[in-house]
């Protein structure tokens, strides 16, 4: 009986690596917006798949950073506009209710 020190009795992908490959393929196909098919990415050389994934990831990170900057600038502009408006005064009809 042979005992393998690595724990694996065959050569293949570990479940964690396999899951990461399928997640990477999904992300490229999904965020590629129809530019790639699953079969194309699955059969793509690993170095090219990693490059494509990193480029798509970089694009979306830059896009998110730009969107966050736009939201912050809109908030600053809204606060500046709010500061130029008249002070808020409570309505004059607010009175205490009588106790009976």
Q: What is the mean pLDDT of the chain?
A: 79
User: What's the domain range around 24?
Assistant: 15-74
Does the structure show a pLDDT above 70 at 58?
A: yes
Does 82 map to a domain? no
Does the structure show a pLDDT above 90 at 55?
A: yes
Does 22 map to a domain? yes
Count how many domains the chain has. 1
b/e map 57-91, b = 16+ CB within 10 Å: eeeeeeeeeeeeeeeeeeeeeeeeeeeeeeeeeee
Confidence of residue 47 (pLDDT cuts 50, 70, 90): very high
Does 6 map to a domain? no
Does 89 map to a domain? no
Does 39 map to a domain? yes
Does 80 map to a domain? no
| pLDDT of res. 5 | 61
In the chain, what percentage of residues exceed pLDDT 70?
Answer: 65
Contact 73, 66 (CB under 8 A): no
pTM: 0.57
């Amino acid at each position: 009986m042979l005992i393998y020190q690595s724990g694996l009795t065959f050569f293949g992908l570990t479940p964690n690596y396999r899951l990461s490959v399928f997640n990477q393929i999904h992300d490229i196909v999904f965020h590629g917006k129809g530019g790639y098919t699953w079969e194309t990415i699955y059969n793509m050389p690993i170095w090219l798949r990693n490059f494509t994934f990193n480029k798509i990831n970089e694009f979306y990170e830059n896009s998110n950073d730009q969107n966050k900057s736009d939201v912050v600038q809109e908030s600053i502009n809204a606060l500046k506009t709010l500061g130029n408006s008249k002070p808020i005064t409570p309505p004059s009809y607010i009175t205490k209710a009588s106790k009976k």
